[in-house]
A and B are shown apart, each in its own frame.
Chain A
Amino acid sequence: MKWELEQTDDEPDLTPMIDIVFLLIVFFMTVASVVTAKRVEIKAPIATNSIIAETQENRKAASLKSDGTIYYEGAEVSVDDLKAHLSDSLGGNPAMQLLLRIDIGTAYSDTRDLMAACAEVGAVNIIFTTYQTDK
């Protein structure tokens, strides 16, 4: 039965390809879940001397979009809501750092109002979010 033998030899071994494809799927699934984690989309300014933090512990994030809307931990809030949230967090951890993710095009008048609100409740350790390069 020569014909049958040839046919079985013809079939390629798909095992390594399936291995790689599964690996890719797991990679993209993990990355996709990282992206959706509580981050409001902003375009950060560029600062070549900024540093990438080793740890994200001990900090809370507030975002300010260019239209002046404020987000705290992923949800849109008013200035008063933000103050209440910050007082709560500071009560449990006075050394808390506040990460301000401010969009590149935000006017200083909005930034100033936000910083004034932070200072009022005692959140004075501020970090501005930047990118190290424009790439």
Chain B
Amino acid sequence: MKATDTYLKSTDKVDLTSMIDVVFLLLIFFMVTTTIVKQESDISFQLPTSVPAAADTPLPEEHLLDILPDGSILLNGAPAGEPVNNALPELEAVLLQIRESSERAGFQTLILINPDDNTDQQSIINVLNACVASKVTSVTFASSE
């Protein structure tokens, strides 16, 4: 074998080392700068409006639900449970009973939520979560005025 042949053969392959260096650097950069975000989910309701309802709309059965700053619940003024791991099992049971009994009587159940000024968002969401669990669909916030 001639010396030139060997030379050509060895330079035939592209040297990948520097490219791999750069690619690894990019990989590490993007891994460090990426923060995986948690997927957000929804709980929806309607705010009260000043639009008058149609005359023949049946009046719903209203229940006032106070949320105290510590997250405990008053349903129509009576204690209705405290949060356990962001859930309100007592309130869920009571709401389910209320909804079923008013459904049998042909009424819709409307829950008016009235949180204390210092109540945090988690306590409010706990109540909305309980409403979803007991399939109460008409939920709104009481206006302070």
Interfacial residues, chain A to chain B (CB-CB below 8 A): 1, 4, 11, 14, 17-18, 21-22, 24-25, 28-29, 31-32, 34-35, 39, 44-53, 97, 99, 101-109, 111-112, 115-116, 118-119, 122-132, 134
Contact = CB atoms under 8 A, between A and B. Distances in A.
A8 to B, nearest CB: 8
Given A48-B129, A131-B40, A106 B141 contact: no
Interface of A is mostly: mixed
Nearest to A106: B121
Interface in B123-143: 124-126, 128-129, 132-133, 141, 143
Give the interface size class of chain B: 35 or more
B23 interface: yes
Contacts of A44: 38, 40
Given A25-B30, A108-B117, A14 B20 contact: yes
A119 B41 contact: no
Given A18-B16, A103-B121, A107-B118, A130 B27 contact: no
B122 interface: yes
Given A105-B120, A107-B117, A108-B117, A118 B47 contact: yes
Contacts of B124: 45, 108, 111, 128
A52 B40 CA distance: 7
B16 A130 contact: no
Contacts of A109: 117-118
26 contacts: A1-B1, A14-B16, A18-B20, A31-B34, A32-B33, A35-B34, A35-B35, A45-B124, A47-B125, A49-B43, A50-B43, A51-B41, A101-B40, A105-B120, A107-B119, A107-B120, A123-B47, A126-B44, A126-B46, A127-B43, A129-B42, A130-B41, A130-B129, A131-B38, A131-B40, A131-B41
Across chains A and B, which 3 residue pairs bring their CB atoms closest together, nearest first?
Answer: A28-B30, A50-B41, A45-B125
